[in-house]
Amino acid sequence: MRKPVPKPKVYTPPRNLISIDDSSGILLPSFSDGGRVVTLMREYDIPLLALTIADPPSWANEKIHEDFGEPRLRQVMVFGDISDPDLLGTSLFARETGYDVFAIPSNPNFNDIHSLLSWMSLRDNSVGVLSLKMVVARLKLVQSAPKDSSELETL
């Protein structure tokens, strides 16, 4: 009797890193460098929903409800200005929907009490807060790792 061939073990990044295969992004109009975010998401083939000023808040936005209905995605990155109340609203809505959430604020100024309070609200609600530079570094790290044990055999 032949031995069954074992299936390769799949490697998934830790939850506090960004999983390229299991994440999506939401770009709020308040983010100062939206073009860089669009380029970054395309480079890693991560779905991105870019919102406009005319769009309603996240919890009342049909586009976001459709995006959050994607069952394979477990993480969402929300890009917006630290002083934008929709950064907090979208992050909290995603968190309550069951996602691991990373907020990427532009222009954080922790000498400004409102920026500091926004950051604290995000952290108090279990939202990971990262700089765009940290997102790039984490995506590069995750991309450099083998996806399963069969890739290790070829090294």
Task: Give pLDDT tens digits for 47-100.
Answer: 999 999 999 988 899 988 887 776 667 899 999 999 899 999 999 999 998 899
CB neighbour class for 75 (10 Å; exposed up to 12, middle 13-18, buried from 19)? buried
pTM for the full model?
0.86
End-to-end, the C-alpha distance of the chain in Å comes to 31
Report the percent of the chain where pLDDT is more than 90: 55
Burial profile 87-124: b = 16 or more Cβ within 10 angstroms, e = fewer:
bbbbbbbbbeeebbbbbbbbebeeeeeebeebbebbee
Domain boundary assignment for the chain: 31-139
Pick the range with the lowest mean pLDDT from 21-30, 71-80, 91-100, 142-151: 142-151
pLDDT value, residue 39: 96
Average pLDDT over residues 22-42: 94
* CA dihedral sign of residues 131, 134, 140, 144: negative
Give the fold, CATH level 3, of 31-139: Rossmann fold (3.40.50)
Q: Which two tokens stand for residue 131?
A: 């700089």
pLDDT value, residue 150: 65
DSSP state of 147: S
pLDDT value, residue 3: 75
